[in-house]
Amino acid sequence: MTLARRTPPRSARRPRPLGPLLAVVLAGSLLAGCDAIDSAGSAGSGSAGSGEVDGSAPDGRSTSPLKNADGTAPGLAPLTKDADLAAARELIGTLEVKGRGPKTGYDRDEFGYAWMDSAEGVPFARNGCDTRNDLLKRDGEQVEFRSGSDCVIVSMTLHDPYTGKDIAWKKQQATAVQIDHLVPLSYSWQLGAARWNESKRERLANDPLNLLPVDGPTNSGKGDSGPASWLPPSRGVRCAYVVRFAQVALKYEMPVTAPDKRVMEAQCAG
């Protein structure tokens, strides 16, 4: 099969509709510019050894969550400036806390079928391409599409924010890259999504703000953990990760557990 090699320009690959959380994030940015885990950031299965990298990436391959309120820009760039850390702490401070409820009744199908293109009210919806390929297109570099398609991606290079490594991905090894729900669907079910209507659950499951293509094995180790139980192996990106987690929770008016909030605040302590 002949592959049609097409790498759309960044401006074409990431439209920027305004998300409902934009005012919250911009307000935090303007004002200043994250105990199961200690303030240094070691975290269960997400702990990294002395050889870890800081998760940074070349220009254009990752975006600060404070500048990506709708999730349409690629990647997850570390937050290092004092002003950004202060804005991050302020954002996290607005989260409500609640105990995690039972998992009774949870099923992935309660959030719609996987990678549906018809979820209402989220970027990329109804563009003729499923959510997974939308996210690969958003974050991938050197993207190659299946012949005759501008949707189905068969090859790309991904900078994985969770480990800081580059992944040469091909569709034949699909699980080498997985799409992570930053706020896991099971977690959201236990924190209130069990009482949401179907449309709201479908939005959460397909909202690019809540989705990142990442290293598959690393994502498998996360499971349905909140930040108190799991953080990315790359310490440098942990504040950005919990900010994105907070953005999703705030957008969907969802609380987090008290341990999760404490850990989130600690990651952005500066």
Q: What is the pLDDT of residues 29-86, one digit of tens each?
A: 333 334 344 433 434 434 333 334 444 455 568 999 999 999 999 999 999 999 999 9
Q: What is the pLDDT along the chain (270 residues), one digit of tens a residue?
A: 444 444 444 434 444 444 444 444 434 433 333 434 443 343 443 433 333 444 445 556 899 999 999 999 999 999 999 999 999 999 999 999 999 999 999 999 999 999 999 999 999 999 999 999 999 999 999 999 999 999 999 999 999 999 999 999 999 999 999 999 999 999 999 999 999 999 999 999 999 999 999 999 999 999 999 999 999 999 999 999 999 999 999 999 999 999 999 999 999 997
Element holding 144 (H helix, E strand): strand 141-145
Q: What angle do CA 248, 48, 172 make, to 5 degrees?
A: 70
Cα–Cα distance measured from residue 121 to residue 106, given in angstroms and rounded to the nearest whole number: 23
Residue 233 neighbours by CB under 8 Å, 6+ apart: 46, 47, 48, 52, 162, 163, 218
Cα–Cα distance measured from residue 240 to residue 157, given in angstroms and rounded to the nearest whole number: 22
Q: What is the pTM of this model?
A: 0.81
- Which pLDDT belongs to residue 57? 53
Residue with tokens 């409500």: 96
Cα–Cα distance measured from residue 254 to residue 261, given in angstroms and rounded to the nearest whole number: 12
